[in-house]
Every structure is written in C-alpha cells, then in structure tokens.
C-alpha cells in the first residue's frame, strides 16, 4: 500500500511541532546506531513492489516491504539481491536494509547494498517528496543522492522507495573447506583472488577456511579439481547461518566488534576470539578490550571498528569516530537535507 502521503503529513506535523522522528521499520537494526529520542515514524505500512520486470534486472519497491517478501519474488524469477543482505530473522524491511547498507557474504565479489541502489524516493527534512536516480542501470544526472542515502541510517531523509539492480541467481553453488590457520587462509585467498576463479564468499577462523563457488556446474567441478578442499554438505545453510549470526561464534552475549580493514592485513594484536569474512576485510572480534585499544589498532591500518553488540555504557560512540577533517562536511550535509534535525538525530553521531 502506498502511504507516502500519510508519511509526508506526519513529517510535516513533526516539523511544525519541532519533534524529532525515530524512523522505524521492524526495529531489527536499532543497535546499528545510538538510541534516538522522539516520536516513532512507522514505515512498515508503506509496502509493495512498485515495478518489476525481470528482463530489466531492476526492481522498485516500497521501503516498508519485508525483505524476505522481495527476495521470494526475485527467487521465483530466478533472480536475487546480489549483496545478499541478512533478513535479521526474517523481519528486516527493505528500507532498513538499504538505510544501513546491510551486505552479506557475496559483498566482496559482487558489491555492497550501495552498489545496487539505482534510485530512490525520499522525504527530506523540509517535508518535500523527492525523487533521485531512476529505474535504469546507468544514470549520471545530478549528484548520486541515492547512494548517499544508503548507509545514512535515515539521518538525511525518510526512504520511501528504492530501485535496486538485481542479478540472475547462479546456476549452482558449492562450499569447500580447508584445514588451515588464519595467516595461511589470508595468503591462500589472496593468491586465488588474483586468478579468475568463481569465488563468491569466504569465511575463516583459526582452524578452517571455507570458500563458496558460484557459477555453472561445469565451472564448479573444474575449480574444485584445481583447488581441492572438502565439499560441505549443506552449502546454502552454512552461509545463511553465518549471515544471520546463527554461527556458534556469535552465540556469546559479550561485546562484539565489527572491523572493516584492508583484506590482506595481518591478524591484529588484540585479545579475544576472531571470525573472518569477506576475504579478511570483515573481521568479527569478541573481546573485552577497550574501545581505545581496538580503535588504535584498526586506525593503524586505515580501517574502522563498529561496536556491534554489548553494553553501550562502555563506549562513547557505536560507530568509529569520523576523521576530524570530514566532520564539517558531514554536518553541512545533514544541514542540507535535514536542517531542523528531525530525522533520527544523533543516531549516527551526536551532531548528525
């Protein structure tokens, strides 16, 4: 159902009253940012696929649509969201997924959510309904506001509708496992990545490296012969479980950090348990190390760290502090889209 007019009225009312709005889908990713004080603006009423023609490789969908519903439709047509977002237990909305740039195992090969966003309809902080980008794969008219909105966690405007590029599902997939340590996994992966193997995901810990191959059956068989490795019985379940944080590594409730780093950097000298994805570029760390210690280490390799889970009292900011030189531009962009600061104020950083 199209609720854009109702949503726009709610935004205008909030503007009139000067009450901040907390944009809410199904609350699966509240922890991605800081808690926001204000009135809830429910997006889950604004649902439905607006346009989908599989041969265009583009789908346009309203933000409140459940992600699983969209994925099912694509699946029926042999297609997929190539950034493989987690559905957070089946409850995530499309809007929240894009607002948080949620991307899964295929990210290092095919790209993140932002790479597949082609256009959007948004309500900005003046209560205006605006349309950027479009439903076509190539479009350079105007600034790329659609990708700017991706990952902005609603602080620049309310996403009403997004157009996404979709891809055909691979004909076949298989997962291979290798017994090896972390450093060896990093070395092996980077050697393989310089070759045109059909790698579509990787994950490793201190004992095992898992890789996923995607493509034609013939290509998979051929690559398996070249790379060896033990085929894992339920390939799909393995990556789904990892993507949905059902892997035993995530079972603990202690502090969990998400580190984004250059893929080939050496294991960091931080105490705790590690799990690696995205060829080593995404590293999960369960550790009681101080925020300072974690940030110092990742900054040394030009990465960043998000405090993904754990006691919020312990830290000042969930996301990595911004490069001070970029702070003024972030403030001015917030001002440009949401001058009254009514959308999710403080969710990303205190002054955004």
Partner 1 sequence: MNTTELHARREKLAREFQAILPAESVLYQTEDLRVYECDALSAYRRLPLLAVLPDTIDQVQQVMRLCRRLSLPVVARGAGTGLSAGALPDTQGVLLGLAKFDRILEIDANKRIARVQPGVRNLAISEAVSDLGLYYAPDPSSQIACTIGGNVAENSGGVHCLKYGLTVHNIQQLQVVTIDGDLLTIGGPGPDTPGYDLLALFTGSEGLLGVIVEVTVKLLPKPESARLLLAAFDQVEKAGNAVAAIIASGIVPAGLEMMDQMAIRAAEDFVHAGYPRDAAAILLCELDGTEAEVDAHLETVRRVLTEAGATGLRCAESAEQRRRMWQGRKAAFPAVGRISPDYYCMDGTIPRRCLPEVLREIARLSSEYGLPVANVFHAGDGNLHPLILYDANKPGELERTEEMGGRILELCVSVGGTITGEHGVGLEKINQMCVQFNAAELAQFHAVKSAFDPDGLLNPGKAIPELHRCAELGAMHVHQGRLPFPGLERF
In the region spanning residues 48 to 87, those forming contacts with partner 1, defined by CB under 8 A, are: 53-58, 78
CB of 41 to partner 1, least distance (A): 20
**50 burial type by CB count under 10 A (0-12 exposed, 13-18 middle, 19+ buried):** middle
CB of 35 to partner 1, least distance (A): 18
CB of 12 to partner 1, least distance (A): 14
Is 282 a binding residue for partner 1 by CB under 8 A? The answer is: yes
Minimum CB distance to partner 1 smaller for 92 or for 306: 306
Cβ count near 277 (within 10 Å): 22
Minimum CB distance to partner 1 smaller for 9 or for 234: 9
Among 15, 130, 232, 241, binds partner 1 (CB under 8 A): 130
Is 45 a binding residue for partner 1 by CB under 8 A? The answer is: no
Among 2, 42, 115, 205, binds partner 1 (CB under 8 A): 115
Is 319 a binding residue for partner 1 by CB under 8 A? The answer is: yes
Is 15 a binding residue for partner 1 by CB under 8 A? The answer is: no
Minimum CB distance to partner 1 smaller for 96 or for 151: 151
CB of 59 within 8 A of CB of 74?
A: yes
What is the residue-wise DSSP string for 140-194?
A: -SS--HHHHHTTSTTSS-EEEEEEEE-EEPPSEEEEEEEE--HHHHHHHHHHHHT
CB of 152 to partner 1, least distance (A): 6
Site for partner 1 in 173-232 (CB under 8 A): 190, 193-198, 215-216, 218-219, 221-223
Minimum CB distance to partner 1 smaller for 237 or for 301: 301
CB of 56 to partner 1, least distance (A): 5
Which 3 state secondary structure label does DSSP give 57?
Answer: coil
CB of 332 to partner 1, least distance (A): 4
CB of 44 to partner 1, least distance (A): 25
Kindly indicate which of the ranges 1-9, 67-75, 124-132, 233-241 contains the residues binding partner 1, using the contact rule CB under 8 A.
Answer: 124-132
Minimum CB distance to partner 1 smaller for 48 or for 134: 134
Cα maximum dimension of the chain: 66
Is 32 a binding residue for partner 1 by CB under 8 A? The answer is: no
CA distances for 276 relative to 44, 164, 190, 251, 309, angstroms: 33, 28, 14, 16, 17
Site for partner 1 in 251-280 (CB under 8 A): 260-264, 278
Total residues contacting partner 1 (rule CB under 8 A)?
Answer: 85
Which 3 state secondary structure label does DSSP give 201?
Answer: strand
Give the integer Cα–Cα distance in Å for 32 and 161: 21
Minimum CB distance to partner 1 smaller for 44 or for 185: 185
Binding mask 144-173 for partner 1 (x = CB under 8 A): xx-xx-xxx---x----------xxx-x--
- Only one residue has tokens 């450093």, namely 183
**Alpha-helical regions (H) of the chain:** 4-17, 67-76, 94-99, 107-110, 113-116, 145-149, 182-193, 217-227, 235-243, 291-300, 327-337
CB of 191 to partner 1, least distance (A): 8
Buried b (16+ CB within 10 A) or exposed e, 287-317: bebebeebbebbeeeebbbbbbbbeeeeeeb
CB of 261 to partner 1, least distance (A): 5
Provide φ and ψ at 159, rounded to 5°.
Answer: -75, 125
Q: Which residues contact 87 (CB under 8 A, 6 or more apart)?
A: 66, 67, 68, 71, 244
């Amino acid at each position: 159902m199209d609720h854009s007019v109702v949503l726009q009225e709610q935004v205008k009312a909030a503007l009139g009253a000067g009450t901040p709005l907390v944009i809410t889908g199904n609350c699966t990713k509240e922890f991605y940012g800081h808690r926001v004080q204000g009135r809830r603006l429910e997006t889950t009423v604004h649902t439905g696929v607006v346009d989908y023609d599989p041969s265009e490789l583009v789908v346009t969908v309203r933000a409140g649509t459940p992600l699983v519903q969209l994925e099912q439709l694509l699946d029926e047509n042999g297609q997929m969201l190539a950034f493989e977002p987690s559905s957070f237990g089946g409850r995530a909305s499309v809007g929240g997924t894009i607002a948080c740039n949620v991307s899964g195992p295929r990210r290092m090969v095919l790209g993140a959510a932002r790479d597949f966003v082609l256009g959007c309809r948004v309500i900005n902080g003046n209560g205006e309904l605006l349309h950027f980008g479009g439903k076509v794969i190539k479009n350079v008219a105007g600034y790329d506001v659609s990708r700017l909105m991706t990952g902005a966690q609603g602080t620049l405007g309310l996403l009403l509708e997004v157009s996404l590029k979709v891809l055909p599902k691979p004909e076949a997939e298989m997962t291979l496992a290798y017994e090896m340590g972390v450093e060896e996994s990093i070395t092996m992966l980077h050697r393989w990545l310089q070759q045109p193997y059909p790698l579509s995901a990787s994950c490793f810990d201190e004992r095992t490296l898992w890789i996923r191959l995607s493509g034609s059956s013939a290509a998979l068989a051929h690559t398996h012969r070249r790379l060896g490795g033990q085929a894992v019985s339920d390939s799909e379940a393995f990556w789904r479980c990892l993507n949905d944080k059902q892997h035993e590594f995530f079972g603990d409730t202690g502090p969990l950090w998400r580190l984004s780093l250059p893929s080939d950097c050496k294991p960091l000298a931080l105490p705790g348990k590690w799990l690696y994805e995205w060829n080593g570029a995404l590293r999960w760390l369960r550790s009681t190390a101080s925020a300072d210690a974690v940030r110092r280490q990742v900054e040394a390799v030009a990465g960043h760290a998000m405090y993904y889970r754990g006691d919020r009292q312990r830290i000042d900011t969930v996301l990595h502090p911004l490069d001070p030189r970029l702070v003024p531009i972030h403030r001015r962009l917030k001002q440009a889209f949401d001058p009254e600061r009514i959308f999710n104020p403080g969710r990303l950083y205190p002054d955004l």
